[in-house]
Amino acid sequence: MQSHAQKERKYSSLQPESPIKQLFKNNMRQYSMIFALIVIMLLFQVLTSGLLLQPLNITNLILQNSYILILAIGMMLVIITGHIDLSVGSIAAFVGAISAILMVNYEMPTFVAVIISLLVGAAIGAWQGFWVAYVKIPAFIVTLAGMLLFRGLTMIVLEGKSIAPFPETFQKMSSGFIPDASAANIVTLLIGVILSVVLVVAQVRTRRTQMKFDFGVQSKGLFILKLVGMVVLLNVFTYVLASYEGIPNVLILLGILIVAYTYVMKKTKAGRHIYAIGGNEKAAQLSGIKTKQMTFWVFVNMGVLSALSGLIFAARLNAATPKAGNLFELDAIAACFIGGASAYGGIGTVPGAIIGGLVMGIMNNGMSLLGLGIDWQQGIKGLVLLAAVAFDIYNKNKAN
């Protein structure tokens, strides 16, 4: 067997720069985002004299931002195909209202009501997708219309009032924690350990296959360092959560969504098709990609995720209100652009949207802890969005 070390050397000899420098260069965008996230986190940690990273507050952060992050995932897909969706906040409110009517007024079982709500979301997505993909009306206009339409419908079905309270099982979806009998939340810690093992095994296996095909890989030292870093981070995170109430249910849902969508976008044909449509729709179409159909499904997907987001928000608030989901669309869109999406389509990643969403979320939370008013918060968030995209474009110009 040929030694791996030899292959590594063969690869690195092709690279004039040190592997670390190379690594940073290739992943400049991603690293700079993570770096920005860490800086913002540390900044508020200091400013709030340690309040930000308290177990209670971290749990709160997750609960507060889950619905925006879910929207951001779907929005990222929409933006990659080169469109935009302004209606997600209104759809979330509308579906929240529908679910309240089903569960509270008609006393339908939670499970059935949730399924129906998600289907309503899908139908709304299909409605908008039809106009965008097949009639070719710009998404900006279709979803602007949708924003007004579904906000109006929300107020109509709610008759301008709030509906509350939801059954307890439904509330648990958003504010519950994984069941754990022990005081120390052993299950949470255990999940951390299991995920660590899965992570290490998966990473080692990818590296192996890459080396088998003689593709370039990072040096062994760097690889181990990276793995150790990820494992430590993961377990510290679960430990912090365990020292409060354990893992929130919604985090599990969010985790599954992030992993699934990252996988779909990175590894599957569907994901590749979405990137291709955003990159050059004409070329994609002439390569045999069913561009209209794909665009349609991206909007259906957005509708379902909007519905899910609306459900979680309603469950957290324990009420469906006519004002729910107001300005969610802007937070979700901002998350995508901070997270590296291109306004022209074709570029962006699901983890990017999550990081962008966290940047926004931590700023919201941190500024609230500091007692800044909503006026200042809005202004500062606006500037951060502009700065993030300006930095991105500056980097791109420098690279050319």
Identified binder of other proteins from the candidate list 4, 7, 172, 290, rule CB under 8 A: 290
Is position 394 an interface residue for other proteins (rule: CB under 8 A)? no
Distance between CA atoms of residues 325 and 306, nearest Å: 10
CB of 206 to other proteins, least distance (A): 10
Is position 283 an interface residue for other proteins (rule: CB under 8 A)? yes
Q: Kindly state the DSSP code that residue 320 receives in the 8-state scheme.
A: B
Identified binder of other proteins from the candidate list 18, 27, 182, 287, rule CB under 8 A: 287
> Taking CB under 8 A as the criterion, which residues in 201-220 touch other proteins?
209-210, 213, 215
CB of 268 to other proteins, least distance (A): 5
Is position 276 an interface residue for other proteins (rule: CB under 8 A)? yes
User: Which own/partner pairs from 275-282 qualify as long-range (CB within 8 Å, at least 24 positions apart)?
Assistant: 275/80, 275/346, 277/81, 277/82, 277/345, 278/79, 278/80, 278/81, 278/82, 278/344, 278/345, 278/346, 278/347, 279/345, 279/346, 279/347, 280/346, 281/82
In the numeric block, which tokens belong to residue 94? 């509308």
In the numeric block, which tokens belong to residue 153? 């419908």
Q: Which is nearer to other proteins, 172 or 207 (CB)?
A: 207
Q: Which is nearer to other proteins, 13 or 209 (CB)?
A: 209
Residues 6+ apart with CB under 8 A from 204: none
Residues linked to residue 320 through DSSP beta bridges, in sequence order: 163
In the numeric block, which tokens belong to residue 329? 């669309």
Is position 280 an interface residue for other proteins (rule: CB under 8 A)? yes
CB of 65 to other proteins, least distance (A): 30
CB of 395 to other proteins, least distance (A): 14
CB of 276 to other proteins, least distance (A): 6
Is position 272 an interface residue for other proteins (rule: CB under 8 A)? yes
Distance between CA atoms of residues 299 and 302, nearest Å: 5
Q: Which is nearer to other proteins, 268 or 378 (CB)?
A: 268
Is position 243 an interface residue for other proteins (rule: CB under 8 A)? no
Is position 284 an interface residue for other proteins (rule: CB under 8 A)? yes
Q: Which is nearer to other proteins, 284 or 308 (CB)?
A: 284
Interface stretch with other proteins, choices 36-44, 46-54, 70-78, 262-270 (CB under 8 A): 262-270
Q: Which is nearer to other proteins, 290 or 316 (CB)?
A: 290
Distance between CA atoms of residues 82 and 343, nearest Å: 7
Is position 269 an interface residue for other proteins (rule: CB under 8 A)? yes
Is position 285 an interface residue for other proteins (rule: CB under 8 A)? yes
Phi, psi of 34 (to 5 degrees): -65, -40
How many other CB atoms are found less than 10 A from the CB of residue 183? 6
Identified binder of other proteins from the candidate list 49, 181, 183, 288, rule CB under 8 A: 288
Q: Which amino acid is at 388?
A: A
Is position 79 an interface residue for other proteins (rule: CB under 8 A)? no
> Taking CB under 8 A as the criterion, which residues in 327-386 touch other proteins?
346-347
Distance between CA atoms of residues 369 and 186, nearest Å: 30
CB of 298 to other proteins, least distance (A): 16
In the numeric block, which tokens belong to residue 88? 């997600």
Of the candidates 331, 328, 301, 299, which has an alpha carbon nearest to the alpha carbon of residue 312? 328
In the numeric block, which tokens belong to residue 350? 């699901």
CB of 258 to other proteins, least distance (A): 18
Is position 23 an interface residue for other proteins (rule: CB under 8 A)? no
Phi, psi of 245 (to 5 degrees): -115, 0
Phi, psi of 347 (to 5 degrees): -130, 140
Q: Which amino acid is at 185?
A: N
Q: Which amino acid is at 108?
A: M
How many other CB atoms are found less than 10 A from the CB of residue 263? 12
Interface stretch with other proteins, choices 42-50, 88-96, 267-275, 325-333 (CB under 8 A): 267-275
Give the binding site for other proteins (CB under 8 A): 209-210, 213, 215, 267-270, 272-273, 275-276, 279-280, 282-290, 346-347
